[in-house]
Amino acid sequence: MTSSRIPGFYNMTVEERRALLREAFSLTDAETQNLSNADALTIGKADNMIENVIGTYQLPFGLGLNFLINGKEYVIPMAIEEASVVASASHVAKIVREAGGFQTESKERLMIGQIQVVGCPDFQEAKQQILHQKDTLIAAADNAYPSIVHRGGGVKDLDVRILNEEDASSYSKMLVMHIYVDTCDAMGANMINTMVESIAPIVEEITKGKVYLRILSNYADRSLATAKCVIPPHLLKTGSFAGEEVRDGVIHAYEFAASDPYRAVTHNKGVMNGIDPVVIATGNDWRAVEAGAHAYAARNGHYGSMTKWSKDEEGNLVGEIELPMSIGTVGGATRVHPLAGFSLSIMHIESAEELAQVIVAVGLAQNLGALKALATDGIQKGHMALHSRSVAIAGGATGEMIDVIAKQLVEQQEIRVGKAKELVEQYKK
């Protein structure tokens, strides 16, 4: 596909959209069938992924359009049940592409493994001994997973902290060792857990303490991805609202979230509205990404905004985001779930680093979509209009009746199931 800009995609039927994708991406028969098959994830595959399987649970699977990131076009798969998210992200991506697109980067990509040691006779001496034998420990960890070393990854560094050093309690005082692992394109959970478990006996011998936990950390603050956009005010004009007015409203909304955790939680939920659907669509662990993102939002001792919005010297709106991204493009569900592999293929993702950058760009876009709506007509106008179809269905509308009832709900400004049921009964008469 030469462009992620597909005018009228929203107005096409599902069959027309699939046909367009088949031609644009040269999809195979199997890939096309997976899109139309409710059982793309077979019960057999599902039964091998988790325990006690009784079926599969589906989510709407849509496409975020118009994304231009580092000069590359992206059609971005998104799996989510909430109305207006895909439309909002696509709308903002269209605005940003007219301003030159998103600029993204990854500073480094190292995942973290932790080993907890308690009961050391001398914690400071234990720390110094670990640092003294750093090379030995790194080599031992690499030997536990040689395949990653052969691919250019492996343990790149090690450090040690002493927690609660002044606390008299034998339960709270502990030594914690971190290994920093280049997991290449894997998320790396199993890899890191194997490494830290394998070297735990060596750590015990060095520290003369007892190892309890040895596991990865999902706070991947050594695997950060950033995205930025710069938007001239004229591109932000919305109805009767001037671009400068929208810009200032977005900045005021950001400052609210940066200052107040009650607002920040809802603000950041909007960011994750964009991030989670891409993480889910690509078969990654959205719980790990959520946990890391929220922890990063509180890294300065105060829970605040995941994004930053400001005005530059030219009066442009500047948006920025930086988040840890514990994701991968190989292993796990990314290769087991048919639609996860499909998602990666249509984005032409070449690395986990690239996927992380795409994900944070979508998060930034969705955040602007929400703030722009809040700063102008309010969040309900657009959201509820899109939600009206779901309400119509919940009220009993089927087939062609869905659009008729949804339109009446919007016109009467009563988007609720009770009203939908009333309109359905009237329609049937």
Q: Which residues are catalytic?
A: 82, 269, 285, 383
Q: Which helix (H) or strand (E) holds 338?
A: helix 338-347
| CA 22, chain centre distance (Å) | 26
Q: How far apart are the first and last CA of the chain?
A: 47
| Distance between CA atoms of residues 174 and 251, nearest Å | 43
| Distance between CA atoms of residues 112 and 89, nearest Å | 31
- Residues 382 and 88 sit within 8 Å (Cβ to Cβ): yes
| Distance between CA atoms of residues 393 and 251, nearest Å | 37
List of residues 6+ apart from 294 with CB closer than 8 A = 268, 303
Structure-token pair, residue 112: 């973290």
| Distance between CA atoms of residues 188 and 145, nearest Å | 11
| Distance between CA atoms of residues 374 and 309, nearest Å | 14
- Residues 229 and 99 sit within 8 Å (Cβ to Cβ): yes
Taking CA atoms, 112 is separated from 191, 195, 225, 302, in Å, by 11, 11, 16, 23
Q: Considering only CA atoms, which of 190, 184, 119 is closest in space to residue 152?
A: 184
| Distance between CA atoms of residues 250 and 243, nearest Å | 11
DSSP assignment, residue 10? Answer: G
Cα-atom radius of gyration of the chain, to the nearest Å?
25
Amino acid letter for position 277: P
Structure-token pair, residue 411: 């016109």
Q: Considering only CA atoms, which of 342, 274, 347, 367 is closest in space to residue 70?
A: 347
| CA 118, chain centre distance (Å) | 35
The dihedral formed by the CA atoms of 236, 238, 242 and 244, expressed in degrees to the nearest 10: -30
Structure-token pair, residue 2: 């030469």
Q: Which helix (H) or strand (E) holds 401?
A: helix 401-411
